Amino acid sequence: MTVTDESRTLHDFEEALHESSDELAHLRMPAHALGQQLSNSAELMDWLYRGGWTRWGWPETIGGFGGPATIRCQIYEKLALSGYRIPDHLFVLEVVGPAVVSHAPSLAAEMMPKALSGVELWCQGFSEPEAGSDLASLRTRAVARDDGSFSVSGQKIWTSYGARADRIVLLARTGSADSRHRGLSMMLVDLDQDGIERRPIALASGREELSEIFFTDVRVDSSRLIGDIDGGWKVAMDLLQYERGVYAWMRMASTTAHLAQILRQMSDKPDALAADVVGRAYLALAGLRARTASTLRRLSADEVVGAQTSVDKLLLSTAEQKVLDASLTLLDAELLIGDRAVDAGWRDEWWYSRAASVYGGAREIQHSIIADRILGLPKESSRGR
């Protein structure tokens, strides 16, 4: 695809979005209730898929149009800057989807179209009690049965959308207890089976967006494996790159839209204060945008980005928190106590931004990765480095 073709596609998308603005108007309204938000997400996924806009960059084997994933990224950004919330479905699918395509192409061809069109919502099950950022300590087990399938038992926690999702991309231990990262396997598990119990977890905002999921002798067919048996660590490391790629770009686009909204809503604030707060937020966003664009280009060229994505993660959490802190400083005090959906929406976003430096590898973990694997600093001891 040439630069001209990309420009024409993006122009066509903007025209289609403009022509459908009345049809989609209700999707630009904030939805405080999680159920309504996910319903809006599914509706927008359907519109994007029918128009072909979310099929760019995916292989034809799963219903895509091919081309670079960067086209999708630009479409997501234009969507956010036009006042639409980027569909929640995509924040999971853009992380796990590329790994499923690469490591389980037949499974991707069968399952991905329903996820891409918003018919199904997926979630990812990595974190466990006492095994948050340390995936090698996972204790959920997948034991091979005589018929070749697996019996999964264990517990996952902090699973986004887990109480409402249709399927989960699960990382489980298939090796011995002390096999660490060498004994893990990844698989796609249906969440409507016997033996699965889901308990919602409320965020500080009160929204039950997270969950813990219990598995008791849940049967999973061998065709649901993503990658090789005991090869789950390789898939997980591949997958984490995309969490810093398209996912990070979508978060950047959403956060840029938030800053633009702050500028529209703010009033009668001292110029010096506004300039300082907005300037710091803008610079953080600019750094994130430049870094994420570079990572996307490297991923599109099939380069392994590896430990350097820890820099992306730190820039992402910093930018989100600076922009949402700006909302508290510059917007009306009603944001703190108001009953309007727009006020509740800002509070939800601010609370969620606090988690940005925890989920997907805490800030301290990212600092350690950069120190050990990029800078090559001496190992940390009880006295520090």
Distances (CA, A) of 146 to 150, 151, 186, 189: 9, 10, 19, 19
Residue 205 has pLDDT above 90, yes or no: no
pLDDT at residue 303 greater than cutoff 70: yes
**Pick from 303, 305, 294: which is nearest to 249 by CA?**
294
Query: Residue range 128-146: average pLDDT?
Result: 85
Residues 332-358 have a mean pLDDT of 87
Cα–Cα distances in angstroms (integers) from residue 130 to residues 183, 201, 381, in the given order: 18, 17, 22
Give the mean pLDDT of 305-317: 89
Which tokens sit at 144? Answer: 């091979």
Q: Answer yes or no: is pLDDT of 193 > 80.
A: yes
pLDDT band at 270 (very low <50, low <70, confident <90, very high): low
Q: Identify the burial level of 130 via C-beta atoms within 10 angstroms of its C-beta, where 0-12 means exposed, 13-18 middle and 19 or more buried.
A: exposed
Kindly list the catalytic residues.
Answer: 243
Please state the length of the chain.
385
- Alpha-carbon distance 65 to 68, whole Å? 10
Label residue 181 by pLDDT band (50, 70, 90).
Answer: confident
pLDDT of residue 173: 95
Answer whether 188's CB lies under 8 Å from 170's CB. Answer: yes
The pLDDT of 182-186, averaged and rounded, is 94
User: Has residue 172 got a pLDDT over 80?
Assistant: yes
Is residue 359 exposed (0-12), middle (13-18) or buried (19+ Cβ within 10 Å)? middle
Name the residue among 238, 13, 212 with its Cα closest to residue 123: 212
For residues 183 and 209, the answer to whether their CB atoms sit within 8 Å is no
46's CB contacts (< 8 A; 6+ apart) are 117, 118, 119
Q: What is the CA radius of gyration of the chain?
A: 21
Q: Please, what is the Cα angle at 118 between 114 and 123, to 5 degrees?
A: 85
The DSSP secondary structure of 126-184, one letter per residue, reads: --BTTBSS-GGG---EEEEPTTS-EEEEEEE-S-TTTTT-SEEEEEEE-S-TT-GGGGE
Task: Supply the mean pLDDT for the chain.
Answer: 91
Q: Is the pLDDT of residue 134 over 80?
A: no
pLDDT at residue 6 tops 90 = no
Q: Which domains does the chain have, with CATH numbers?
A: 3-86 (no CATH), 123-235 (2.40.110.10), 245-374 (1.20.140.10)
The predicted pLDDT at position 132 comes to 63
Strand 141-144 to strand 150-156: parallel, antiparallel, or no bridges (unpaired)? antiparallel
Q: Look at residue 137 and tell me whether its pLDDT is greater than 70.
A: yes
Residues 366-378, mean pLDDT to the nearest whole number: 89
List beta partners, residue 168. Answer: 123, 189
Give the residue carrying structure tokens 């979630």. Answer: 123
**Per-residue model confidence as pLDDT tens digits over 43-92:** 999 999 999 999 999 999 999 999 888 899 999 999 999 999 999 999 99
Residue 85 confidence (pLDDT): 96
pLDDT at residue 382, rounded to an integer: 67
Average pLDDT over every residue of 163-177: 94
Q: pLDDT, tens digit, for every residue of 320-329?
A: 999 999 999 9
Mean pLDDT throughout 263-281? 84
Q: Hey, which of 131-135, 140-144, 200-204, 330-334 has the most confident mean pLDDT?
A: 140-144
- The answer, yes or no, to whether residue 39 has pLDDT greater than 80, is yes
pLDDT in tens, 7-31: 899 999 999 999 999 999 999 998 8
Mean pLDDT of 136-147: 92
